[in-house]
Amino acid sequence: MSLLEVNGLEAGYGLSQVLFGVDFSIDEGEAATLLGRNGMGKTTTVRSIMGLLKPSGGQVSFNGRDITRAAPYRVGQAGIGLVPEGRQIFPTLSVEENLKAFARSPGKWDLGKVYAFFPRLQERRRNLGSQLSGGEQQMLAIGRALMTNPSLLILDEATEGLAPLIRQEIWAKLAFLKTEGQAILVIDKDIDALAGFADRHTVLNKGEVVWSGSNARLTAEADVVRSHLHI
């Protein structure tokens, strides 16, 4: 059963249209990706799903409900958790305060479960968000999204700007979440990591879907996908 369905999505900023009929879907328990170069519409797609940008056309459905123009808090209540580009944690709140601010029950994720998942956050629980390293901030952003007990976790630029060891840790944590049945949508540029992680992939170019397929198809057509990504 499709958890998220995006059909014919169109969106933009002012008179500038960015998305032109974007289509993709994510099933329950599935990991999927949005790939593309900078400025190709990935973040605009995420903002449109989350209600942070009102689409000019198309439809976004989640769990069979139309959420196309729902307010962001309604999208969160519906069960979508976002790890935004740039992390956007609260710099003047402690780690624990950041996590508690997003707590939502019922669900399996609470403060203790997040600390067990990211022990470093428990060690730093009294530190302010501004006192964390980039990797720690990303862990906090993921933990904060998990505190909403989402059915779908969206990560916009999941490992951008992180040291290699931290990136490996983040991918390992996401792989574990997938084994636990967590549906995940990842936007990232690390095609090798994504190929080993996700079930299906969608490539955007200038706001349009130019390629989509399974992990097996991505492997078979890697050169085609890389040509779209200019890598």
Question: For 181-200, what is each residue's pLDDT tens digit?
Answer: 999 999 987 788 888 889 99
- C-alpha distances (whole Å) from 146 to each of 100, 106, 210 are 11, 12, 31
What CA–CA distance (Å, rounded) separates 231 from 226? 5
- C-alpha distances (whole Å) from 43 to each of 65, 122, 150 are 22, 30, 19
Per the structure, the count of domains in the chain is 1
Global pTM reads: 0.94
- Closest by CA to 222, choosing from 35, 6, 31, is 35
- Closest by CA to 146, choosing from 180, 179, 99, is 99
213 burial level (CB within 10 Å; 0-12, 13-18, 19+)? middle
pLDDT at 190: 77
Structure tokens at 121: 């956050």
In a domain, 37, yes or no: yes
Could you read off the pLDDT of 74-116 as tens digits, one per residue? 999 999 999 998 889 999 999 999 999 999 878 899 999 999 9
In a domain, 158, yes or no: no
> What's the domain range around 59?
1-79+185-231
Q: In this structure, how many other beta carbons lie within 10 angstroms of the beta carbon of residue 201?
A: 23
In a domain, 219, yes or no: yes
28: domain CATH number is 3.40.50.300
Query: Do 37 and 204 contact (CB within 8 A), yes or no?
Result: no
In a domain, 57, yes or no: yes
pLDDT at 76: 94
In a domain, 149, yes or no: no
